[in-house]
Amino acid sequence: MSLCSPFRSQLPDFALTSASSRQALHGYAVPALRLTLALAPTVPPVIRMRMKTITAAALRIKRLCHYQPFDKPERLARMFTEGTIYFSRPRDFNDPWDCRPCFSKSGLKDPEHYERTVRWFVDCGRKNTSLPEAEHLRREQELRSNPKLVEWMIDQTTSEMEQAIPNQYRVYCLSTHPDSTLMWSHYADSCKGICLEFSAQNELFCRALQVEYVGGYPLFSVSATDDDANLQPLLTKSEVWAVNAD
């Protein structure tokens, strides 16, 4: 599951402090699934997947667990005394493809898809640059007449997103299973760490989003525009990690 939220890049860690998180903290438990926290996505739209995001509330999940080593007791103390939760950097995950979207170029031969892609790049250019309108129109015309340039820009978007997501997002991984020997072994310092259990019946954890596990590495559409598409790069993992039950 995952809630996703960008934060200020200069901060070394993303900390979430709220009354709801204090009320949610329940105590120690056993292994957990994955949850990503997303509050206000700012990364450009990135995907079109078959699944719509599913929250913990929709699944009627009552408890969520988080495995961790007992290596930073001061952070654990702050969780209980201040209701502060620390989120992980996506680049530190053990899955090398986690939170790294790859955008597809295969649909560009479809005129409608090509036009949507051109419009997406044109709109991004207008929003993010202060060029004269004549220059925007020139670039738009060049994109419409140069498929190779569009393909290159899609590849550049993939590369830039790979850098942007780790810089703008932090993730808190949760599980519904407090009794997984594998999770204890992988994420709780070879069974020497701890597992925290949180109530999901509050405004924070009820918004946790479910992770989707797929057999092959998915390709996303750069021109996707719905809110669900914005989050899917953060919610899609290889099926080999399905044991995590995120």
Residue type, 138: R
What is the average pLDDT score of the chain? 76
Q: What is the pLDDT of residue 21?
A: 39
pLDDT band of residue 177 (cuts 50, 70, 90) is confident
> Confidence class of residue 228 from pLDDT cuts 50, 70 and 90?
confident
Average pLDDT over residues 10-26: 36
Whole-number pLDDT of residue 192: 92
pLDDT of residue 1: 56
- Region 32-38 average pLDDT: 39
Using alpha carbons, select from 81, 64, 62, 60 the residue that is nearest to residue 29.
64
Q: Which helix (H) or strand (E) holds 74?
A: helix 73-82
148 phi and psi angles, rounded to 5 deg: -65, -35
Question: What are the sequence ranges of the domains in the chain?
Answer: 14-100+168-244
Neighbouring CB atoms inside 10 A of 229's CB total 19
The whole-angstrom separation of Cα 178 and Cα 197 is: 8
- Give the side-chain half-sphere CA count within 13 A for 41: 23
Q: Give the range among 4-18, 78-92, 204-218 with minimum mean pLDDT.
A: 4-18
Q: What pLDDT is recorded for position 156?
A: 94
**Lowest-confidence region among 27-31, 95-99, 189-193, 216-220:** 27-31
The residue to which tokens 């509330």 are assigned: 57
Q: Which residues pair with 175 in a beta bridge?
A: 65
* pLDDT for res 119: 94
How many Cβ atoms from other residues are within 10 Å of residue 45's Cβ?
Answer: 22
Taking the C-alpha atoms of residue 197 and residue 185, their distance in angstroms, rounded to an integer, is: 17
